[in-house]
Amino acid sequence: MKGDQITLTIPREEPYHEVAHLVLGGVAARLNLTFESIDDLETALDAVLERAARNGHITVKLRLEDEAIVATVGPLADAVRAELEREPGEHFDLRRILDTVLDGYQLDADGWLELRKQVAKGEA
C-alpha cells in the first residue's frame, strides 16, 4: 500500500465518524500495525472530527509513507486553526491531544490538517 492513498468523504455529523474509524482500522489490519499505533491515530482523528463544523462534508485521506501513517483531514474551520495556534496552557485542547498522541501535525493555509504517526520498523 506504500505510496497509495485512500480518500474518504463523509458528512460531518458525528454518526459518520465511525466510517472513518472502519477505514482506518481496515488499513491498519492490512498493514499489520500495532493496536497502539492505530489507537493514537484514531484518538487524534476523533479530536479533529469533533471540532469540524456540523454541516457539509469532510474528507479524510490516508497514506503510508516511510515508517509513518499519515491522515490528512479537511477542510477545517478557522476555529481549529485558532485552537492549534493558541499558547499551550492547562486546558485540555486539540493541541494538547495532538502533541500527546502524534509524532507530528501541520495545518496548511487552506484548512487541511496533516496528522502523522510513526510506525515501528516491520509494522508496515
Per-domain residue ranges of the chain: 5-118
Q: Which CATH number fits domain 5-118: 3.30.565.10, 1.10.3720.10, 3.30.70.1230, 3.40.50.150?
A: 3.30.565.10
pLDDT attached to residue 1: 54
Is residue 117 within 8 Å of 65, Cβ to Cβ? Answer: no
For the cut 70, the answer to whether the pLDDT of residue 43 exceeds it is yes
The pLDDT of 56-61, averaged and rounded, is 95
pLDDT attached to residue 102: 96
Grid coordinates of 4: 497509495
Measured CA angle at 40 (ends 65, 93), to 5 deg = 115
For the cut 90, the answer to whether the pLDDT of residue 122 exceeds it is no
Report how far residue 25's alpha carbon sits from residue 51's, in angstroms, rounded to the nearest whole number.
21
Q: Quick one: pLDDT band at residue 109, thresholds 50, 70, 90? A: very high
Report how far residue 88's alpha carbon sits from residue 37's, in angstroms, rounded to the nearest whole number.
25
The pLDDT of 34-53, averaged and rounded, is 89
User: Helices H, strands E: what count in the chain?
Assistant: 4, 5
For the cut 80, the answer to whether the pLDDT of residue 88 exceeds it is no
